[in-house]
Amino acid sequence: MRTLEYRGNATIGLGEKPIPEPNKDQVRIRIAYAGICGTDMHISDGQHPRAKAGLTMGHEFSGVIDKAGSDTTFTAGEHVIVEPLISCGTCYSCRAGFPHVCANLGLYGIDQDGGFADYCVVPAQSVYHLSDSVPLVHGALVEPLAVGVHAVRLSRTKVMDTVLVIGGGPIGFFVATAARQAGAEVHIAEINPFRRRIIEEMGFSLFDLPADGDMTMRDEVTDGKGFDVVFDAAGGASTLRSAVDLARVRGEVVIVAVPPQERVISYTPIAFKEISFVGVRVYEYYDFKRAIQLLEGLTIELSKLYRVFPLAQYQEAFEAAKQGNGVMRVLFFLGEGATL
Ligand SMILES: [Zn+2]
Ligand SMILES: [Zn+2]
């Protein structure tokens, strides 16, 4: 079968691997669509510490059950998506019911072969049924949407809150989508002109981060009080400081994106305004379920968010994903010749 592999030394390329066989509690999926995430770009740039040469990349994918192990409840032909987390089951987090923050957390597509391939074998417990109302191409968006659902569910966002999402890339956009679903009025700070246009077309309000502590726009949109919740989905050098400045007294700052380097911020406004911080990481089982339900009912035109490439055009696809101009999410179509 075809694969797109990390070859080591910051190179990727097409490869061939034997079609894997599922054991009795696994399923083999004929992959239909797979999204390129920031993590895949880190891997291709040689910046991911865990990715080894020979790895089939890709952790955001949808497909069709090709072969189901005898102990599973899946049947061939069923449309599915994969929750790509691999937890150890024995560490404190796993035993305490938080396998998504497992001390030994891994992912398909990073630590084990993932979805940039014709087939993938995964445990049945990582697989979710996709109803007919969600096309397979949208199934590849569930994983990043689940990140947004998790961030909002772990936050204090309440109905009628005024919320700011800093960063209007795919993750920020899906955080905003989930926050709107929770009943909040959502503003998004983003500078990329293409993303700004999409954000407006999808009915969100654009917010310009103040460069010099000027709170005029914040006070206009929040009636002088500041945002109830600010999500930092950009992870920029100064975005955490902006988040603290823009949050209201006793507001909350949610750390969604984390930059590789440490950031310096003043503690004074955090203490004086009694700001709460909450960190969020990936998603839990329930977030994944809810993300699928959210997609089922979503009325926005999702096709504006993504562009689809065949696997053979992986270089163009990665280039488009890196530039982030003219497209929110880049997806591969891998289902050529398959019954989907
Ligand atoms: Zn991802
Ligand atoms: Zn664990």
Predicted confidence at residue 69, as pLDDT, reads: 98
CB atoms within 10 A of CB 338: 14
Which ligand is located closest to the Cα atom of residue 88? 2
Alpha carbon distance 5, 109 (integer Å): 9
**Helix, strand or coil for residue 5?**
strand
Alpha carbon distance 237, 61 (integer Å): 31
Q: How far is the CA of 223 from the centre of ligand 1 (A)?
A: 36
Q: How far is the CA of 62 from the centre of ligand 1 (A)?
A: 13
Alpha carbon distance 277, 173 (integer Å): 21
Helix (H) or strand (E) holding 34: strand 26-36
Indicate the burial class of 27 (C-beta count within 10 angstroms; 0-12, 13-18, 19 or more): buried
Which ligand is located closest to the Cα atom of residue 39? 1
Q: How far is the CA of 19 from the centre of ligand 1 (A)?
A: 24
What are the percentages of helix, strand and coil residues in the chain, rounded to 5?
Answer: 30, 30, 40
Alpha carbon distance 281, 150 (integer Å): 8
Query: Which residues have C-beta within 8 Å of that of residue 88, sequence separation ≥ 6?
Result: 94, 102, 103, 104
What would be the CATH architecture of the domain defined by 148-279? 3-Layer(aba) Sandwich (3.40)
Residue ranges with CB less than 5 Å from ion ligand 2 = 87-88, 91, 94, 102
- Digit-by-digit pLDDT tens for the chain (340 residues) are 999 999 999 999 999 999 999 999 999 999 999 999 999 999 999 999 999 999 999 999 999 999 999 999 999 999 999 999 999 999 999 999 999 999 999 999 999 999 999 999 999 999 999 999 999 999 999 999 999 999 999 999 999 999 999 999 999 999 999 999 999 999 999 999 999 999 999 999 999 999 888 999 999 999 999 999 999 999 999 999 999 999 999 999 999 999 888 999 999 999 999 999 999 999 999 999 999 999 999 989 999 999 999 999 999 999 999 998 889 999 999 999 888 8
Indicate the burial class of 280 (C-beta count within 10 angstroms; 0-12, 13-18, 19 or more): buried
Which ligand is located closest to the Cα atom of residue 101? 2
Look up residue 30 and give its two tokens. 């004929």
- The structure tokens 């009912």 sit at 297
Query: Which residues have C-beta within 8 Å of that of residue 214, sequence separation ≥ 6?
Result: none
Which ligand is located closest to the Cα atom of residue 100? 2
- The structure tokens 């510490």 sit at 49
Q: How far is the CA of 98 from the centre of ligand 2 (A)?
A: 8
Residue ranges with CB less than 5 Å from ion ligand 1 = 37
Active site residues: 39, 42
Look up residue 192 and give its two tokens. 């990329």
Query: Which residues have C-beta within 8 Å of that of residue 267, sequence separation ≥ 6?
Result: none
Q: How far is the CA of 2 from the centre of ligand 2 (A)?
A: 32
**Contact criterion met (CB below 8 Å) for 59 and 107:** yes
ipTM: 0.97
CATH of 2-141+305-333, one of 3.30.9.10, 3.90.180.10, 1.20.1290.10, 1.10.10.10: 3.90.180.10
CA distances from residue 199 to 152, 190, 273 in whole angstroms, order as listed: 18, 9, 30
CA–chain centroid gap for 61, Å, is 12
CA distances from residue 207 to 9, 200, 204 in whole angstroms, order as listed: 40, 11, 10
Edge-first strand order for the sheet with 55-56 is 11-16, 2-8, 55-56
Domain ranges for the chain, please list them.
Answer: 2-141+305-333, 148-279
Q: How far is the CA of 37 from the centre of ligand 1 (A)?
A: 5
DSSP string, 202-244: TTPEEEPPPSSS--HHHHHHHTTS-EEEEEE-S--TTHHHHHH
